[in-house]
Amino acid sequence: MAEDLGQITDEVRALMREIEAPGMAVLAFGLADGPTSAFLPHHHDTRQVAYTGTHDNNTFAGWYADDAGPQARTFAQRSLRLPRRAAPGQAARAAVRAVFASVARRAVVPVQDVLALGSAARMNTPGEVGAQNWTWRLSPGALSGQKRTRHAARLAELTTLFDRTPETDEPETAEEKKTPPASEKSNDVGEG
């Protein structure tokens, strides 16, 4: 996989195609950029890896509450089918659903987004040095008992609903690499 975020040259794109390296599609970036962003699920390619966010940006709930400007938040509400006064945790759950619903063959959701945690759970802020980076840890018991059952059931439901069952060891065929026509893509990614 290639971290094709930021300024990517035509040469890098050509190399990615040549070595068949999938690129990244970070939902929070797409929602910040608007409806034409390649990072949004309705523009994903099957070879991409869809993310709610990465270790280098805020949690999705943190982005929604603290980083998204009014325009990005409104677009997120429309895109993820959220109510106008949606809580950050509700936005994070909708983002997880949107990433699972993507046509991208692979979906990656940081545990902070599974748990709908806010900015305090951010892993890293690139370019900043200090105690805030790389110190977040999953709290003991955060994924045990009823919480574990609830989160596991939700992920299992999304896995089944969007056919994200474990892949076989067989390589992708040329047919699997093709992006389905727009008419076959689902736009219903909100909580429902």
Give the separation between CA 117 and CA 92, rounded to whole angstroms: 8
DSSP string, 51-112: ES--TTS--HHHIIIII--HHHHHHHHHHTT--TT--HHHHHHHHHHHHHHSSSSEEE--HH
Give the separation between CA 191 and CA 142, rounded to whole angstroms: 23
Kindly indicate the confidence band of residue 186, based on its pLDDT and cuts at 50, 70 and 90: very low
Give per-residue pLDDT as tens, 130-142. 878 999 999 998 9
The closest of 96, 105, 112 to 155, measured between CA atoms, is 96
Give the separation between CA 74 and CA 171, rounded to whole angstroms: 40
| Residue 64: both structure tokens together | 């929604």
Contact 55, 112 (CB under 8 A): no
Kindly indicate the confidence band of residue 183, based on its pLDDT and cuts at 50, 70 and 90: very low
Report pTM: 0.82
